[in-house]
Amino acid sequence: MKISFCYPEGRTKALTFSYDDGKEQDRRLVKIFNRYGLKATFNLNYGLLGKKPRLTAEQLKGLYDGHEVATHGLTHPTIARCPNEAVLEEILEDRKGLERLFGQIVRGHAYPNGSYDERIKQILAMAGIFYARTVHSTGSFELPADLMEWNPTCHHNDPKLAEYGKMLVEDKKSQYLRLLYVWGHSYEFDVCDNWNVIEDFCEAVSGREDIWYATNMEIAGYLHAVQMLAFSADLSLVYNPTAEDLWVAVRDWSNVLRIPAGETIRTGI
């Protein structure tokens, strides 16, 4: 190969989490993620905030700092059963409420009850959603082929969770970009009395310099950005039109090149 895309700093492995509903157990889960330096996306229903056992708007302030907040439908409907107007309202009002509450642009989504179809995907895109997570676990570390139908690797109750973590940590095949994506609901740890599962997993996969710990949106945005790199026909020049630094490997994975935001540089080819 002459040029290959990399994650930030030349990494080839990434880990992300996605948790739904914003219930009281999120507080304990966030503490675990923060303790181990991991990042997650939390998918919230603005119209249900404060309805037990969901956290109130006041309790949410500051809770998810360093993580991502995404939509999950204003009232958690099975949206494939809803007319277009209702779907649009569910997403836009959820976005508006969360953006006011957290003071940031919200562009991610997790399908409530796992409900979606091609019509829903199109409506979400028109409502400003950039990616959407399903509940269909793949058991693989492959990158999403369709960001509006982003299938995770596994649920945290998957009996192979620890094995997936070990595989990511030990993987040395730098010719691939790997992504381990874990999803679930924090209240399930209480229901199943298995907080040790996520504690042990986070400890096992944390602190690795070769793994990118990122939110869903950070990964989705980066994957989109590297596709925007413009190369000269002979690959000797590359222009980065985006607002973030991007990385590629030149000739082999030991030679990583950073392309600063907005700059054109020589690749060395």
**Does residue 4 form part of some domain?**
no
Whether residues 143 and 238 share a domain: the answer is no
Report the C-alpha gap between 135 and 208 in whole angstroms.
27
Tokens 């192979």 belong to: 160
Report pTM: 0.97
Whether residues 240 and 211 share a domain: the answer is no
Whether residues 167 and 252 share a domain: the answer is no
Q: In this predicted structure, what is the pLDDT of residue 173?
A: 87
Angle at 186 between CA 165 and CA 81, to 5 degrees: 105
**Does residue 257 form part of some domain?**
yes
Q: In this predicted structure, what is the pLDDT of residue 253?
A: 78
Whether residues 178 and 66 share a domain: the answer is yes
Q: In this predicted structure, what is the pLDDT of residue 246?
A: 98
**Does residue 2 form part of some domain?**
no
Whether residues 140 and 234 share a domain: the answer is no
Number of domains present in the structure of the chain: 2
**Strand ranges for the chain from DSSP E:** 3-6, 13-20, 40-44, 68-71, 108-110, 131-133, 154-155, 178-184, 211-213, 230-231, 237-239, 246-250, 256-259, 264-266
Whether residues 242 and 120 share a domain: the answer is no
**Does residue 6 form part of some domain?**
no
Q: In this predicted structure, what is the pLDDT of residue 252?
A: 83
**Strand pairing class (256-259; 246-250):** antiparallel
Whether residues 151 and 216 share a domain: the answer is yes
Q: In this predicted structure, what is the pLDDT of residue 175?
A: 85
- Give the range of the structural domain holding residue 244, as residue numbers without chain letter: 229-266
Whether residues 110 and 190 share a domain: the answer is yes
DSSP per position, 17-65: EEEES-BTTHHHHHHHHHHHT--EEEEE-GGGTTSTTBPPHHHHTTTTT
Using the CB atoms, write b or e for 24-50: b if 16+ within 10 Å: ebbeebbebbeebebbbbbbbbbebbe
10-residue mean pLDDT profile of the chain (269 residues): values are: 93 98 98 98 98 97 98 97 98 98 98 97 98 98 98 98 98 92 98 98 98 98 98 98 97 91 96
**Does residue 113 form part of some domain?**
yes
Whether residues 161 and 252 share a domain: the answer is no
Q: In this predicted structure, what is the pLDDT of residue 174?
A: 85
Whether residues 220 and 242 share a domain: the answer is no
Closest of 76, 77, 64 to residue 103, by C-alpha: 64
Whether residues 95 and 35 share a domain: the answer is yes
Q: What is the CATH number of the domain that holds 192?
A: 3.20.20.370
Q: In this predicted structure, what is the pLDDT of residue 254?
A: 81
**Does residue 93 form part of some domain?**
yes
Whether residues 132 and 34 share a domain: the answer is yes
**Does residue 7 form part of some domain?**
no
